[in-house]
Amino acid sequence: MRRAVALVFGGVVMVVVMVVCGTSRATAGAGSWRVGSKAFTESVVLGEIAVQLARSTGREATHRPGLGGTRLLWDALLKGDLDAYPEYTGTLAEEVLSDARPAEGAGQGWVTAALAARGVGVVGPLGFNDTYALGVKRAMAERLGLRTITDLRRHPELRFGFSSEFMSRGDGWPLLRARYALAPADVKGLDHDLAYRGLASGAIDVTDLYATDPEIRRDDLLVLEDDRGIFPRYDAVLLYRLDRAQSAPEVLAAWQRLRGRIDAGAMADMNARVKLDRVPEQAVAATFLKTTFGLTAPQARAPGRLEVIARYSGRHLFLVGLSLLAAILLAVPLGIFAARRRRLGQVVLAAVGIVQTIPSLALLVFMIPLLGIGPLPAMVALFLYSLLPIVRNTHAGLRGISPALLESAEALGLPPAAILRRIELPLASPLILAGIKSAAIINVGTATLGALVGAGGLGEPIFTGIRLDDVALIMEGAIPASALALLVQGLFELIERAVVPRGLRRRDA
Amino acid sequence: MTAVEAAGAGPIVQLQGVSKRFDGAAALAPTDLEIPSARTTVLIGPSGCGKTTLLRLMIGLLAPDSGRVVFGREGKDTVLTRDNVRALRVRMGYVVQDGGLFPHLNARDNVSLMARQLGWTRERIASRMNELAELVRLPPPLLDRHPAEMSGGQRQRVGLMRALMLDPELLLLDEPMGALDPLVRAELQDDLVAIFAHVGTSVVLVTHDLAEAALFGHTLVLLQEGRIVQRGTLEDLLERPADPFVTRFVRAQRRFDGPKGMAP
């Protein structure tokens, strides 16, 4: 009995600590504008610009940067978890609205109409077209007089090096060669990063790139004009919920000022400042708004590194702790049930086993349409992942008890509930606790993926670090995550000491 | 009807036409047996003769395929059923070969488990605990040890304390000395005889050792292949064997064990 109390008490204390640590910044104000962005620099900068513009009207606005993918953002927008996010017309036409696409020759208007039918409005185009393009070194372009892709035909001696994807895509090199009738002497496929290096070293002369890549500035490249217009347009736009804009037209008006104001050069420059100069997106966005509109958006105080890490860690523990508590409350009874009812027990074990085989990223994406973005889908995924180790160990712990001991308990005249509480659960407690421990440790790792659905936590610096190729930032998430895993392990060893009966503990011999 | 039986105050347990089969094989043929109260009855026979099955039927760990088990006290008979078995077990004590102690509880908690479940006060438990420790000659400091920290003989004494805790009307012991080495065994045997005499309760003890049976038993019940071959005193078995098997069994035991107290 004392031990059962200690177990419950220990668990509750642990979870309360986790929750208190985590809730400090768990929710944003309900009236706040929520802007999302995808997990690459350009999208985050655009999202930040939108947020700061919204704030300049006096409204509150929050940014959920670096969410994991188009589908996720689009679903979140439709569901109302987000009010706006930056997108590209090409992506809308090819990917998001592909099933609403009319027959050929319908023009561009159908996209706006299809969006409106779904309650979504468009601000834009913002001014740049982030499509495939060909780049050459500016010095060479000036020497040879290159301005457009057509100009390349005059110089078949130039060596072409394309990324493997561009070489193979139907709308890449094959289309380019056919439509411009290019016949270069030398074409090879290579890795995108290597292509930039090759261009810089003079090993190749022409490569494919995205029109706003920061390397354009770094390597002093010139983007050749697609004068025959063969590449699909990827005009940057800002999508927003029409219903939300009606209630606050001044925010929409502020965003409308962005139309046509960001050209490819400006965007590439901003990307370069973030990726190459390591300037935070907020500062880059603020500088843009100041030089373009003379706006001085109120800047939030930049918190110190330790404060940031503490905040991420707190949120991380919150995700893991709450999901683990819920999992314990369900999985232990499930494990008991599985141990009691053999046939149905196998079904239960198989079911939680199958959940475990779903890749974590896929599981997170499944959650979006049901639960939106934020901590909830991440916690539900972590909860589901915790079930298997706990159910399986509870089941194994109970089934492993010697029948002779159970008979002894029965012969005493103990009722079944008392046998479970006084005999079976204490005897199974080392295994049950081991199951909870592995679930907790694994979840500390898995919870980093929560950043991709806007759950926050230590995945946020990790994924931002990956996006910016910033090892220090990755470490800001990875080191505390490892430390947390060790901490959780240590914590469970303490709980083990309190909960597992002395007679069952391993002897130090 | 022997003199021994007449001395008792009526049976504590009656088996009426009780039989049991395992996987189609008969473990116990339909059997009638009365266990006298305030006496020690020994079930004896070779391995697989059904003596343990008989004991487990009495405490309801097995349900009979036919017949019924009647638990009686002062003329108030109760047929053992699924519904009352738990209540009746509280009135019985059960000791198995290795003691059957729970490894996660220390000796004290093992002994007091059922008393705590029944809501005994702390004082009542403590006083009963001291009484029993004295009775089974277990040094009180050992009560704080876990089963893994005790010797086989000590574990068996704790097992006995647990069985006696609620002052049962019937004590059932299944080869309680089976796992002990000869010296410990002899010492515990002597103690048990004294304890049974002191407690004065009804006892059923299972053993395959005729010397042990002779030491404890007012009444011996010899089984072979699921049937009772003979029941009576040791003298009855020696002098008036009901069957050639009885003679064979007695002789085999004499040859190997040289049982004490068997001289005519």
If we measure between CA atoms, which residue out of A269, A285, A263, A260 comes closest to residue A213? Answer: A269
Among A224, A248, A267, residue at a domain's last position:
A224
Give the per-residue pLDDT at A426.
Answer: 93
Using a CB-CB distance cutoff of 8 angstroms, which residues of chain B are in contact with residue A414?
86, 113-114, 117
Using a CB-CB distance cutoff of 8 angstroms, which residues of chain A are in contact with residue B82?
none
Q: Locate the domains of chain B by residue range.
A: 3-91+170-220+229-257, 104-167
Give the per-residue pLDDT at A136.
Answer: 92
Q: Is the pLDDT of residue B264 over 80?
A: no
Q: Is the pLDDT of residue A20 over 70?
A: no
- Domain co-membership, A199 together with A138: yes
Cα distance from A496 to chain B (closest Cα, Å)? 14
Give tens-digit pLDDT for B144-153: 999 999 988 8
If we measure between CA atoms, which residue out of A15, A78, A85, A69 comes closest to residue A327? Answer: A15
Rg from Cα positions in chain B: 18
* Antiparallel, parallel or unpaired: β A159-163 and A186-190: parallel
Q: Is the pLDDT of residue A3 over 70?
A: no
Render A200-218 in DSSP notation, one character per residue: HHTS-SEEEEETT-THHHH
Helix/strand/coil for B113: helix
Percent of all residues in chain A with a pLDDT value above 90, rounded to a whole number: 37
- Find out whether B238 and B58 touch, Cβ atoms under 8 Å: no
Give the per-residue pLDDT at A401.
Answer: 92
Per the domain annotation, does A369 fall within a domain? yes
Task: Spell out the long-range contacts of A46-51 with Cβ–Cβ below 8 A and sequence spacing 24 or more.
Answer: A46/A86, A46/A126, A46/A236, A46/A238, A46/A262, A47/A85, A47/A86, A48/A281, A48/A282, A48/A284, A48/A285, A49/A258, A49/A285, A49/A288, A49/A289, A50/A84, A50/A86, A50/A238, A50/A255, A50/A258, A51/A285
A125 prior amide bond cis, ω within 30: yes
Count, residues in chain B: 264
Domain of A350: which CATH number? 1.10.3720.10
Structural domain count of chain A: 3
Q: How many CB atoms lie within 10 A of CB B194?
A: 13
- Domain co-membership, A311 together with A445: yes
Containing domain of residue A97, as a range? 33-125+238-293
Give the per-residue pLDDT at A169.
Answer: 74
Mean pLDDT of chain B: 86
Give tens-digit pLDDT for B5-25: 444 467 889 889 899 988 888
- Domain co-membership, A365 together with A471: yes
Render B4-65 in DSSP notation, one character per residue: HHHHSSSEEEEEEEEEEEETTEEEEEEEEEEEETTSEEEEE-STTSSHHHHHHHHTTSS--S
Mutation target vs A (from B104, B166, B167, B174; most A CBs, 10 A cutoff): B104
Q: Which residue of A has its CA nearest to B146?
A: A503
Give tens-digit pLDDT for B161-191: 999 999 998 999 998 887 788 888 888 898 9
Give the per-residue pLDDT at A105.
Answer: 58
Give the per-residue pLDDT at A371.
Answer: 82
Per the domain annotation, does A299 fall within a domain? no
Give the per-residue pLDDT at A58.
Answer: 85
Q: Is the pLDDT of residue A508 over 50?
A: no
A172-181, A470-479, B71-80, range with the lowest pLDDT:
B71-80
Q: Is the pLDDT of residue A229 over 80?
A: yes
Most confident among A71-85, A221-235, A383-397 (mean pLDDT): A383-397
User: Can you tell me the mean pLDDT for B134-140?
Assistant: 90
Cα distance from A436 to chain B (closest Cα, Å)? 20
d(CA B71, CA B75): 10
Helices (H), chain B: 3-7, 51-58, 85-89, 107-117, 122-135, 152-164, 182-199, 210-216, 234-239, 244-257
- Domain co-membership, A72 together with A217: no
Q: List CB contacts of B10: < 8 A, sequence separation 6 or more.
A: B36, B37, B72, B74, B75
- Domain co-membership, A147 together with A120: no
User: Can you tell me the mean pLDDT for B140-144?
Assistant: 92
Q: Which residue of A has its CA nearest to B99?
A: A408
CATH of B3-91+170-220+229-257, one of 3.40.50.10800, 3.40.50.300, 3.40.50.720, 3.40.50.1970: 3.40.50.300
Give the per-residue pLDDT at A280.
Answer: 86
Residue with the larger pLDDT of the pair A313 and A2: A313
Give tens-digit pLDDT for B77-104: 788 888 888 888 988 999 988 778 999 9
Inspect the interface and report whether the beta carbons of A405 and B100 lie closer than 8 Å: yes
Residue the block writes with tokens 């007695």 = B250
| Residue numbers of B between 42 and 71 with CB closer than 8 Å to A | 59, 61
Using a CB-CB distance cutoff of 8 angstroms, which residues of chain A are in contact with residue B88?
413
Give tens-digit pLDDT for A88-146: 988 888 778 877 777 665 566 788 888 999 999 999 899 988 888 899 999 999 998 89
A264, containing H or E segment? helix A264-275
If we measure between CA atoms, which residue out of B53, B97, B75 comes closest to residue B185? Answer: B97
At residue A246 the predicted structure's pLDDT band, cuts being 50, 70 and 90, is confident
Domain of A60: which CATH number? 3.40.190.10
Give the per-residue pLDDT at A87.
Answer: 93
Q: Three-class SS string for A304-359?
A: CHHHHHHHHHHHHHHHHHHHHHHHHHHHHHHHHHHHHCHHHHHHHHHHHHHHHHCC
Using a CB-CB distance cutoff of 8 angstroms, which residues of chain B are in contact with residue A427?
102-104
- Domain co-membership, A313 together with A455: yes
Give tens-digit pLDDT for A399-456: 999 988 999 999 999 999 999 999 999 999 999 999 999 999 999 999 998 888 888 8
Mutation target vs B (from A406, A412, A431; most B CBs, 10 A cutoff): A412
Helices (H), A341-415: 342-357, 360-371, 375-399, 403-412
Per the domain annotation, does A298 fall within a domain? no
Per the domain annotation, does A463 fall within a domain? yes
Q: Which residues of A touch B (CB under 8 A)?
A: 404-405, 407-415, 418, 422-423, 426-427, 429, 501-504
d(CA B11, CA B79): 13
Give the per-residue pLDDT at A102.
Answer: 76
Q: Is the pLDDT of residue B67 over 50?
A: yes
At residue B2 the predicted structure's pLDDT band, cuts being 50, 70 and 90, is very low
Give the per-residue pLDDT at A6.
Answer: 60
Per the domain annotation, does A229 fall within a domain? no
Provide φ and ψ at B59, rounded to 5°.
-100, 5
Write the residue in A411, A414, A429 that is nearest to B117 by C-beta: A414
Per the domain annotation, does A232 fall within a domain? no
User: Can you tell me the mean pLDDT for B230-237?
Assistant: 88
Give the per-residue pLDDT at A466.
Answer: 81
No. of helices (H) and no. of strands (E), chain A: 23, 10
Cα distance from B53 to chain A (closest Cα, Å)? 14
- Find out whether B150 and B158 touch, Cβ atoms under 8 Å: yes
Instruction: Bin A170: left if φ > 0, else alpha if -120 < ψ < 50, else beta.
Output: alpha
Give the per-residue pLDDT at A59.
Answer: 86
CA B123 to mean position of chain CA atoms:
29
- Domain co-membership, A359 together with A495: yes
- Domain co-membership, A464 together with A426: yes
Q: Is the pLDDT of residue A5 over 60?
A: no
Mean pLDDT of chain A: 85
At residue B1 the predicted structure's pLDDT band, cuts being 50, 70 and 90, is very low
Give the per-residue pLDDT at B261.
Answer: 46
Inspect the interface and report whether the beta carbons of B113 and A408 lie closer than 8 Å: no
pTM higher than 0.80: no
Inspect the interface and report whether the beta carbons of A427 and B104 lie closer than 8 Å: yes
Write the residue in A411, A426, A502 that is nearest to B94 by C-beta: A411
Task: Spell out the long-range contacts of A275-283 with Cβ–Cβ below 8 A and sequence spacing 24 or more.
Answer: A275/A41, A275/A214, A275/A468, A275/A469, A276/A214, A276/A217, A276/A218, A278/A468, A278/A470, A281/A41, A281/A44, A281/A45, A281/A48, A281/A65, A282/A48, A282/A52
Per the domain annotation, does A51 fall within a domain? yes
Using a CB-CB distance cutoff of 8 angstroms, which residues of chain A are in contact with residue B148?
503
Give the per-residue pLDDT at A28.
Answer: 42
d(CA B161, CA A39): 70
- Domain co-membership, A348 together with A488: yes
Q: Which DSSP category does A451 fall into?
A: G
d(CA B92, CA B167): 8
| Two tokens, residue B151 | 């010797």
Amino acid at A66: G
Give the per-residue pLDDT at A497.
Answer: 85
- Domain co-membership, A141 together with A199: yes
Please report how many Cα atoms fall inside a 13 Å half-sphere around the Cα of residue A398, on the Cβ side: 23
Using a CB-CB distance cutoff of 8 angstroms, which residues of chain A are in contact with residue B117?
414-415, 418, 422
Inspect the interface and report whether the beta carbons of B103 and A504 lie closer than 8 Å: yes
- Domain co-membership, A394 together with A492: yes
Angle at B167 between CA B163 and CA B173, to 5 degrees: 35
Give the per-residue pLDDT at A237.
Answer: 94
Q: What is the ipTM of this complex?
A: 0.85
Domain of A182: which CATH number? 3.40.190.120
User: Can you tell me the mean pLDDT for B32-48?
Assistant: 89
At residue A7 the predicted structure's pLDDT band, cuts being 50, 70 and 90, is low
Give the per-residue pLDDT at A4.
Answer: 54
- Find out whether B180 and B156 touch, Cβ atoms under 8 Å: yes
If we measure between CA atoms, which residue out of A67, A79, A112 comes closest to residue A93? Answer: A112
Any idea of the CA torsion for A411, A413, A417, A423, to the nearest 10 degrees? -50
- Domain co-membership, A370 together with A265: no
End-to-end CA distance of chain A: 29
Among A293, A320, A335, residue at a domain's last position:
A293
If we measure between CA atoms, which residue out of A397, A382, A392 comes closest to residue A324? Answer: A382
At residue B263 the predicted structure's pLDDT band, cuts being 50, 70 and 90, is very low
Q: Is the pLDDT of residue B113 over 80?
A: yes
Q: Is the pLDDT of residue A18 over 70?
A: no
